[in-house]
Amino acid sequence: MAPTHLHLHLLLLSLLLPLTPAFLLPLSKHPSSLHYLATSYFTPFPRPLHLVLDLGAPSASIRCSPPGIARRLPCRSLPCLSARVNKDDGPKGEDDRNVFCCDEGSACWVRGVGELVEGDAVFGSSKDLRVPGFLYGCASNALLSGLGSGIQGALGLGRRSRVSLPFQVAESFGTSARFSLCLSSSSGVLLLGGRGRSSSPTYMSILKSLTYTPLITASSGDSPHEYRINLSSININGIPLSSNSASPPYLAKLSTTSPYTTMPTPLYKAFSATFLDAMTSAGMNLVKAVRPFALCFEPSREAQADPTPAIDMVLQSTMVKWTIQGKSLMVRADDRVICLGIIDGGVGFGQEDEVVIGGYQLEDVFMEFDFGRSMLGFSPSLASMGTSCEELAWDLSPKDLS
């Protein structure tokens, strides 16, 4: 099939984007909560803070203890007023401002987070990125419960928010409104502000490999800060999946706080039945499930060397696919048993046509989020390129990126 004009345009776009300065933040993964963490320093907190990376959150949210420790902002102050999102940036007919105020003279608040406060912030274990007057939310203990031991809050990377980390970095340093993310089971990396000027051959090869797809504007009732893409079909070994209850096109939401990819029940039933047939045909035996997974397998004597089918998420055209297979698809439970790392959302899970792509499936995929163009760039699995996000984190130098 000949390339479409859109596909050629996106390919040229990936090659022509300038290598503007970037700031590098190393990332780690919490062993029990499976969240991805960044180390940060905020005045007036005396110790470093370990914050969960949250793609869809409008701002950073930190447990401010004791109360009043941070610098409060009056409702009519310039930082509070500038933090508002323009009405045109969100769903029509809805007040989508991410900051709201009470009566004049009262405190400034971040919707869904807490009181908006101000302090100087330093990011990264080597303290390479300093942002004076950084705005963040003072979150309650209840809001931050369940994040895991030693975690003091979350670091929001949400779009259409003037108080998210990428936007504040772009405003403070005049850099591109763009960030890149490469997650790993051990150490990953977050790049803010641009692509940098690194001479690393691995990094340059990854940038050239990116495929682009449009980011979708949220519909009414959805958070305008989430990152969603269109999903025209889901293929297993090249065969489109069909579901009586949820027919394509679907939506896919990227999430760093969901450990695994999650599907609504009707779609998961169709997906898991087809996947089970493919695995048993390849010589894999179904065994007792290991929570939270529903399908677990061990090889028979006739099992193929690589029995796992390829899952293609077809995006805006058949030319543009996000492929998940092998290690990115299966979670190892023990020496012999592997489980499908895609789970059933169950009753009350999101929208019936929406798939949440969780952190495990995002690992070892380089992703570039471009606010200005409303585009998502993503690489093939870095394993197929003979590298990983962990190796990239070691390979990149903050000095090379500046």
> Left, alpha or beta for 116 (phi > 0: left; psi -120 to 50: alpha)?
beta
286-305 b/e (C-beta count within 10 Å ≥ 16 → b)? eeeeeeebebbbebeeeeee
Do 164 and 270 share a structural domain? no
**Is 182 contained in some domain?**
no
- Number of domains, the chain: 2
In whole numbers, what is the pLDDT of the chain averaged over residues?
A: 84
What is the chain's length? 402
* CA 341 to the chain's CA centroid: 17
Enter the tokens of residue 274. 């087809």
**Is 8 contained in some domain?**
no
Do 381 and 248 share a structural domain? yes
Do 139 and 91 share a structural domain? yes
Do 267 and 372 share a structural domain? yes
**Domain boundary residue among 158, 174, 190?**
174
Q: Given pLDDT bands bounded at 50, 70 and 90, which one contains residue 193?
A: confident
Q: What's the pLDDT at 221? A: 64
Do 73 and 128 share a structural domain? yes
**Domain boundary residue among 174, 201, 235?**
174
What value does the mean pLDDT take over residues 347-357? Answer: 80
What value does the mean pLDDT take over residues 243-261? Answer: 82
Do 291 and 151 share a structural domain? no
Please report, for the domain that includes residue 132, its CATH number. Answer: 2.40.70.10
Identify the residue with better confidence: 94 or 111. Answer: 111
Q: What's the pLDDT at 143? A: 77
**Is 187 contained in some domain?**
no
Instruction: List the 330-332 sheet strands across, edge first.
Output: 284-287, 296-299, 338-340, 330-332
**Is 304 contained in some domain?**
yes
Do 374 and 238 share a structural domain? yes
**Is 15 contained in some domain?**
no
Per-residue pLDDT of 116-173, as tens digits, reads 888 899 987 677 789 999 999 888 777 787 788 889 999 999 998 889 999 999 999 9
Per-residue pLDDT of 258-297, as tens digits, reads 999 999 998 899 999 999 999 999 999 999 999 999 999 9
**Is 5 contained in some domain?**
no
Per-residue pLDDT of 80-108, as tens digits, reads 877 765 444 433 333 444 555 654 557 78
Q: What's the pLDDT at 18? A: 53
**Is 195 contained in some domain?**
no
**Is 284 contained in some domain?**
yes
Q: Residue 386: give the domain boundaries.
A: 211-391
DSSP 309-333: PPEEEE-SSTT-EEEE-GGGTEEE-
The whole model's pTM is what? Answer: 0.88
Q: Given pLDDT bands bounded at 50, 70 and 90, which one contains residue 374?
A: very high
What value does the mean pLDDT take over residues 173-179? Answer: 88
Q: What's the pLDDT at 95? A: 40
Do 328 and 222 share a structural domain? yes
Q: What's the pLDDT at 16? A: 46
Whether omega before 249 lies within 30 degrees of 0, making that bond cis, reads yes
- How far CA 390 is from CA of 103, 199, 255, 259, 369, in Å, comes to 49, 18, 20, 18, 20
Q: What's the pLDDT at 4? A: 53
- 242 has pLDDT over 60: yes
Q: What's the pLDDT at 115? A: 84
